[in-house]
Amino acid sequence: MKNEIDSKFILSVFEKIRENGEKKGEGYLLGGVTAFSDFDGYTIFMEDQLVKLRFGFHNQYHFDYEKEVHMEQFEKKLEAINKDY
């Protein structure tokens, strides 16, 4: 996920979090990742305490993190959710 992101993977993980996660406010929490969307559903968000992902219309996305190691840990969480659910 360094420079390219697989949109099908992200959307699949997002749905798995919504289907299997614990409801927390406007989002769902699963495997240390919170997932939620904006009011119209065109933009989805997934985040842990150190990384935020905004994924939107036409597969545009933006990661917000301070250190590469944080991104690597976030990616591992997403992969674990995808594998386990």
pLDDT at position 1 is: 43
Residue-wise DSSP of 14-81: HHHHHHHSEEETTEEEETTEEEEE-TTSSSEEEE-SS-EEEE-GGG-EEEE-S-HHHHHHHHHHHHHH
CA–CA separation, 82 vs 47, rounded Å? 15
- What pTM does this model have? 0.90
Per-residue pLDDT of the chain (85 residues; tens, 9 = 90+): 445 789 999 999 999 999 999 999 999 999 999 999 998 889 999 999 999 999 998 889 999 999 999 999 999 999 999 999 9
CA–CA separation, 22 vs 55, rounded Å? 21
Are β-strands 52-55 and 44-47 bridged in parallel, bridged antiparallel, or unpaired?
antiparallel
What b/e readout covers 49-63, taking b as 16+ CB neighbours within 10 angstroms?
eebebebeeeeebeb
CA–CA separation, 12 vs 54, rounded Å? 15
